[in-house]
Structure 1
Amino acid sequence: MPTSHLYLITGASRGLGRAMAEQLLQPGNLLLCISRRQSPELAGQAAKAGSGVELMQWEQDLADPVSAAARVRDWLASQDARRFDSATLINNAGTVGNPAPLSAAADGDLSQALRIGLEAPMLLTAAFLGATREWRGTRKVLNISSGLGRNAMGSQAPYCAAKAGMDHFSRAVALEEAAAPNGARIVSLAPGVIDTDMQVQLRGASAEKFPDRTRFVSMKEEGRLDSPATAAAKVLKYLAREDFGRNPVADVRDPA
């Protein structure tokens, strides 16, 4: 029986998420990609990959995490638990919003940043772990974190808070799963600095509201940003490590 691996990836229509999805379009893999919009580019890559590759793209707004989690839970419950040798959830979606001091931030922007960046990953992780508890294969959760979850930056309070919360809920879930039969392995991983739309937003932010803007401009000018494809290869290499899950909060640059 050929091997079969399931990957659920949020924020897969662009940037790091799409780059990971493109690299996972391999025979034996089923990808369920969850984003606000489908990616024609990703669909084209899947068509070129040929037989043995399955791609599903859901249009789902993670700003409504309860609905997203319910949809994932129901879909997983409809799958054959014997089919997959492994199942992996990659919580990649996030937003930097409009960089500004907390005192100047709009209530709606703050709420959306935390729903997408923290509430959705937590609810999706709960849905994934619960629905796959009796599955035979290896189960993993990869949360895409950030150095800003571990080192604070002004005018980025919601993003910092979401990533710090992601790190810490990963630690808690790692303890729970370590004590469970067929427990999943979970890691909240900082992927390095990547040249994505988020970086464009930060470089284009108001210098008055975001004093660290010049730092991000310098990183771009000095060529210190990974391309999404390069970063995706590093992240997926970490995901495949034998010691994945040993440290629930990690950095892609950590030695093996």
Structure 2
Amino acid sequence: MKYAIITGASKGLGESIAKRLLQEQIAVISVSRTENIELKNLAIEKGIEFKHVSCNLSLEKEIQEVFMEIAHCIFEKNPTEILLFNNAGVIEPIQKVGNLDQTPIIRNIKVNLIAPILITNLFLSQAPLTNTKVTVINVTSGAAIRSFEGWSVYGSSKAGLNMFTQTTAIEQADLKTKNVIIGFSPGVMDTGMQETIRSTSGDAFKELEKFKEYKEKNLLLETDTVAQRLVELVLRGNPESGRVYHIKELLES
């Protein structure tokens, strides 16, 4: 049986990914600070295993404890494959360098970069014990390859995640494992993160008006649409390890 672990599954893209996977009869472990009751009820309706685990991804000790327990519970069931969606992310602080506060800088790097590294490392270390294939999907951003004023921390954390993804893929190929790791850039979606961006000061974020226009002109992608294309890629698209996929290419294919 396949198991999927999704960080940040209580809302936004994570919630949409979880719903799509439950429709595919794949067991889901939701990891977030709050539980989504709608997902729990959907799993009951479909008769699929579902579990919510609370975790603060900015606390390294909590990450290690929570994911060690998750790994233990899953690997003892000898799953055919584990899908690991490192989806949780934060965009704050949105501010120009010189006006940044220390606390949100550290939290951003911990959630966006350190947490996916720790979680991926744990599961790739355990997978050989049961000969289980692990497919890792790191949700990244266009900000990883294009600079936005005010997004220095967010862009840097996502650029680091891309490099981690590509380097891990090379290592896994060299080890001749069957594991796959990809990046996925979901584009500009109608999520809480976009609400945060639109509430930013124009002094801190130069492209504020453009992002407000995305909402006003209904140009934001629906998370269900993005999740559907991503899940199709992961389950049936034979994704290329080390590649960073963008939603635009998936929508056009």
Deviation at 1:61, TM superposition (A): 0.3
Deviation at 1:28, TM superposition (A): 4.4
1:90 aligns to what SS in structure 2?
A: strand
After superposition, the C-alpha distances for 1:226-251 in whole angstroms (9 at most, x for unaligned) are 11111111211222244312442221
1:175 to 164, 170, 173: 170
What CA distance in whole angstroms lies between the structure 2 residues aligned with 1:235 and 1:192?
A: 12
1:34 aligns to what SS in structure 2?
A: strand
2:128 to 125, 129, 133: 133
Is the 8 Å Cα contact of residues 29 and 53 (structure 2) preserved in structure 1?
yes
227-236 or 177-186, larger mean C-alpha shift: 177-186
1:134 aligns to what SS in structure 2?
A: helix
2:141 to 140, 146, 157: 146
2:234 to 236, 239, 243: 239
The letter for the 2-side match of 1:161 is S
What CA distance in whole angstroms lies between the structure 1 residues aligned with 2:20 and 2:231?
A: 9
137-146 or 55-64, larger mean C-alpha shift: 137-146
How many residue pairs get aligned? The number is 251
Corresponding position: 1:99 with 2:94: yes
2:248 aligns to what SS in structure 1?
A: coil
For 1:1-256, list aligned pairs within 5 A.
Answer: 4-26=1-23, 28-49=25-46, 51=47, 53-80=48-75, 83-254=78-249
Deviation at 1:181, TM superposition (A): 4.0
What CA distance in whole angstroms lies between the structure 2 residues aligned with 1:209 and 1:141?
A: 34
The letter for the 2-side match of 1:41 is E
What CA distance in whole angstroms lies between the structure 1 residues aligned with 2:176 and 2:72?
A: 19
Q: Which has the higher helix share?
A: 2
After superposition, the C-alpha distances for 1:188-236 in whole angstroms (9 at most, x for unaligned) are 1111211100001101111122121111111112221111111111211
127-136 or 191-200, larger mean C-alpha shift: 127-136
What CA distance in whole angstroms lies between the structure 1 residues aligned with 2:61 and 2:184?
A: 24
Change in CA separation of 1:174 and 1:112 when aligned onto 2, cut-off 3 Å: same
Give the TM-score of the pair, scaled to structure 2.
Answer: 0.92
1:103 aligns to what SS in structure 2?
A: coil
Is the 8 Å Cα contact of residues 69 and 120 (structure 1) preserved in structure 2?
no
142-151 or 215-224, larger mean C-alpha shift: 215-224
Is the 8 Å Cα contact of residues 65 and 116 (structure 1) preserved in structure 2?
no
238-247 or 188-197, larger mean C-alpha shift: 238-247
What CA distance in whole angstroms lies between the structure 1 residues aligned with 2:242 and 2:84?
A: 17
After superposition, the C-alpha distances for 1:11-36 in whole angstroms (9 at most, x for unaligned) are 00100001110111146422111101
Can you give the 5+ residue segments of structure 1 that lack an aligned partner in the other structure? none
Deviation at 1:131, TM superposition (A): 1.5
Change in CA separation of 1:105 and 1:207 when aligned onto 2, cut-off 3 Å: same
